[in-house]
Chain A
Amino acid sequence: MSVIYLLLTISIIIAVFFFVVFIISVKSGQFDDTYTPSVRMLFDDELVKEKDQIHKTTSKNKEE
């Protein structure tokens, strides 16, 4: 049963590691605003490249 010393040590080290990560992430200000990220997550990604090109050429034509 003396292996319990080893197990305890390892689990405490891991737990403290996660705790330190918690402190660091709170310090970085991530959790100050808990609402906006939930909305931001739902935005679509950028349009596909080719569509971009078509738009760019059309506006160039307009300028001319």
Chain B
Amino acid sequence: MTAICACFHCGDPCDADAIVFDEKNFCCNGCKIVYEIFLENDLTGYYDLQKSPGASPKDLEGKYDFLDNAAITDKLLEFNDEGTQIITLYIPHIHCSSCIWILENLNKLNRNIKASQVDFPKKTVRVTFNSEGISLKQLSVLLGKIGYAPYISLDDFQTVKIKKDRSIIYKLGIAGFAFGNVMFLSFPEYFEVNEFWLDQYKITFRWLMFAFSLPVFFYSASGYFIAAFKGLSAKVLNIDVPLALGILVLFVRSTIEIVFDIGSGFFDSLTGLVFFLLLGKYFQQKTYGFLSFERDYKSYFPIAVTRINNDGGEDAVQVNEINKGDRLLIRNDELIPVDAILLKGNARIDYSFVTGEIEPVEKQSGDKIFAGGKQVSGSIEIETLKPVSQSYLTQLWSNHIFDSNKENSFTSLTNTISKYFTTTILSIAAIATTYWLFVQPALAMNVFTAILIIACPCALAMSAPFALGNMLRIFGKLKFYVKNDQALERLAKADTLIFDKTGTITANNKSSVTYEGTALNTTEKSFLKSTLRTSGHPLSRILYSHLNGSKLLKLNAVGEVVGQGIQAKFNDQNIKIGSASFVNAGKIQNNLQTAVHIRLNEEYKGSFMFQNEYREGLSELFQNLALDYELAILSGDNDGEAVNLKQLLPLKTSLLFQQTPAEKLNYIKQLQQDGHSVVMIGDGLNDAGALKQSDVGIAISENVNVFSPACDAILDAGKFKELHNYIKAAKGAISIIKMSIGISFLYNIVGLYFAVTGQLSPVVAAILMPLSSISVVVFTTLTTNFLSRKLK
């Protein structure tokens, strides 16, 4: 069979041994079972909406046992009363419409599930179920069986449920509602025709406008008053000060005008101004619900682990209740939450999140194991050395650097300009008023308030939110998720870039494989490949795909010794594949690299060496960056790769090896003290301190759902080579903001002309202010879109 058939359920290629069921091909038994479940329950509609939407269900043996513990479930459930429970579960595999469909049809899989609703952007499902018929644990297991295993972490467990803050929507709604109505009501007076009926009714219209403006002034604009007050009490002239001043003057003058029948007031400008400002704020606030930039170690750890009692029994116990000396059972694929000593079992621990190394570390009984690794070959028993709160990992996160807030010490462009703006306007107002006091005193107050109204920095206040907000949105589509506007501004200002090595500039999952030893012929390769096929070990899988083109044989006997290797028999031949000790390799040459050794028919053949590959486009990226930035690589690894790196990267790149997390942090601190603005690009928990210390911390992620430490931006690994283009785009956005501020100054000059000469009528204000706001919005949106059209 030469045609590549894809698994009907998950889309992975299924080779010669595809499982055929109901006339469809499946890559493994797991996928076939999920299909069967769907078929029996009339849920094959799942496959209609999307091609191969499924995931192969992982082995969940014991994974949700901690949900038997009532104290734990109590904290997780949103509602628990009279036999009904409601829970919101985070399910990383939600990615398409089929997922939504199947998760909202869960009631067909189990009658005790009453209702379920998916929130796609957040990747959660809210399930209402009959707790007497199905328990939370059974629900989680059921979801896991169909490939939608929920991810329940310590973070979910400990956070108090925060009330949803919808105030911006209410404020925006009120402002918009009032704005529309006030505009209509002010129309008659714009066209100042001396109609009799107008004189009769204008009082009604004016007071109606006043009534509509009240909630806007007191509620919608309240945020600005509070911010201005805070700024003034901290002796800072931020952008909210002139805004609040303008709104206040607008309201006061308009009220006085209608009370004393001097004019119709500026309520239309007031409501319009507040509306546009809030629109900018709303736009700015749209964040990525499914990414949490505030995640820390708590969201990474499981809620509970299995503790082995003195009498041999097992208990599910909360992670923060583990004490020194407790014996814990860590199963296959589970995280090790504490620093411990290995007691029993074959420990092969994947520390890729902590160190970035994909090859699991082997540990012997009596060895010390650090928290943060994932056990990948069977179960082990460990004895706790330090509880969670004191482990090495938590120490990293407890560094005081995580308390400080970068945003407080950074003055954005807007705030810098607003300082000058406020002082200039106030001086112009003072000068003009004094002038008119001498020439025509009646006009003085008019002119003073008119200046404060028209010279409102609304365009100034809106340029940054709209330009940066649009850039954030565009970047998000390109899988470069930036935390907020300020992070983008700091990114544009950077002059030094620091990269971590493992996992950042090297690709985590790809390895280049080289063979050393006696060459293998075709039959031998087939034998090798067929044997590898049975193993789920990452190195087996990499080697298996490396040997494409070889045919597969039906083996007589296959056995895997977990953590050591595989052996198999075919006819009269036998093969042993695995670690050097397993195949009795004798003397080993190169100890630094990971190798898989082969022994065929009692003859040692050779070994396959695995090397990390550097990311695509690395060299070119660095060459381009070197023109504008200082570059450095800080690595926790040894300097084995120094020669390679010197070849790939431009000469002036500093290369530092064997850096501990603290050393990385201090290096950045030193640079900052020398006046540099530093961007750190890294991954893994042990970069967290450096990421926080730097002006902008970018985390490279292979899968954004898996983990994101406290950083300012997350860049998808596939987009690594576009980094320079993205930074250039951020710089471009800042120039666009400056340009739009320039445009707003033009409006201000025109408006000031009217104000200073005492000619500011409501109509002029009502035209100028929305006009400047809208043109700023349109300008920034169009130019940022234009700027990013070439980004990919």
Q: In the assembled complex, which residues on chain A have CB atoms less than 8 Å from the CB atom of B169?
A: 26, 31
Q: Is B170 an interface residue (CB 8 A)?
A: yes
Candidates B120, B122, B164, B204; contact of A29 at CB < 8 Å: B164
Residues of chain B from 163 to 177 with CB closer than 8 A to chain A in the complex: 164, 166, 169-170, 173-174, 177
Does any Cβ of B come within 8 Å of A40's Cβ? yes
Looking at the assembled complex, report how far the CB atom of A13 sits from the nearest CB atom of chain B, in whole angstroms. Answer: 13
The A contact surface, by secondary structure, is helix
Known pairs A33-B120, A59-B40; A39 contacts B173 (CB<8 A): no
Name A23's contact: one of B45, B173, B197 (CB within 8 Å): B173
A residues with a Cβ closer than 8 A to B are 1, 4-5, 8, 12, 15, 19, 22-23, 26-27, 29, 31-33, 35-36, 39-40, 42-44, 47, 52, 55, 59
Determine the residue in chain B with the shortest Cβ distance to A22.
Answer: B173
What is the number of contacts between chain A and chain B, taking CB atoms within 8 Å?
55
Report whether A40 and B104 are in contact in the complex, using a CB–CB cutoff of 8 Å: yes
Taking CB atoms and an 8 Å cut-off, the chain B residues in 35-64 that contact chain A are 40, 42, 45, 48-49
B201:A1 contact, CB within 8 angstroms:
yes
By a CB distance below 8 angstroms, the chain B residues around A4 are: 201, 204
Contact call B164/A35, Cβ cutoff below 8 A: no
Q: Which residue of B has the minimal Cβ distance to A36?
A: B120
Quick check: B173 and A35 within 8 Å, CB to CB? no
A44 touches B45 (CB 8 A): yes
Say yes or no: is B208 at the interface (Cβ < 8 Å to chain A): yes
How far, in angstroms, from A43 to B101 measured CA to CA in the complex?
7
Complexed CA–CA distance, A17 and B514 (Å): 74
Quick check: A55 and B42 within 8 Å, CB to CB?
yes
Is the beta-carbon distance between B170 and A33 smaller than 8 angstroms?
no
Name the CB-closest residue of B to A47: B42
Residues B120 and A26 in contact, CB atoms below 8 Å apart: no
Give per-residue flags for B183-223: 1 if the beta carbon is below 8 A from chain A beta carbons, else 0.
00000000000000100110010001000000000000000
Given contacts A1-B201, A33-B119, 11 further A-B contacts (CB under 8 A): A19-B174, A22-B177, A26-B169, A26-B170, A33-B122, A36-B119, A39-B120, A40-B104, A44-B48, A47-B42, A52-B42
CB <8 Å contact, B181 and A40: no
Is B595 close to A, CB under 8 A?
no
In angstroms, Cα B45 to Cα A52, docked, is 14
Q: Which residues of A contact B100 (CB under 8 A)?
A: 36, 39-40
The contact sample of 29 A-B pairs, CB cut-off 8 A, is A1-B200, A1-B201, A4-B204, A5-B204, A8-B208, A12-B208, A15-B177, A15-B181, A19-B173, A22-B173, A22-B177, A26-B166, A26-B170, A26-B173, A29-B164, A31-B169, A33-B121, A33-B122, A35-B120, A35-B121, A36-B100, A36-B118, A36-B120, A40-B100, A43-B49, A43-B97, A43-B101, A44-B45, A55-B42
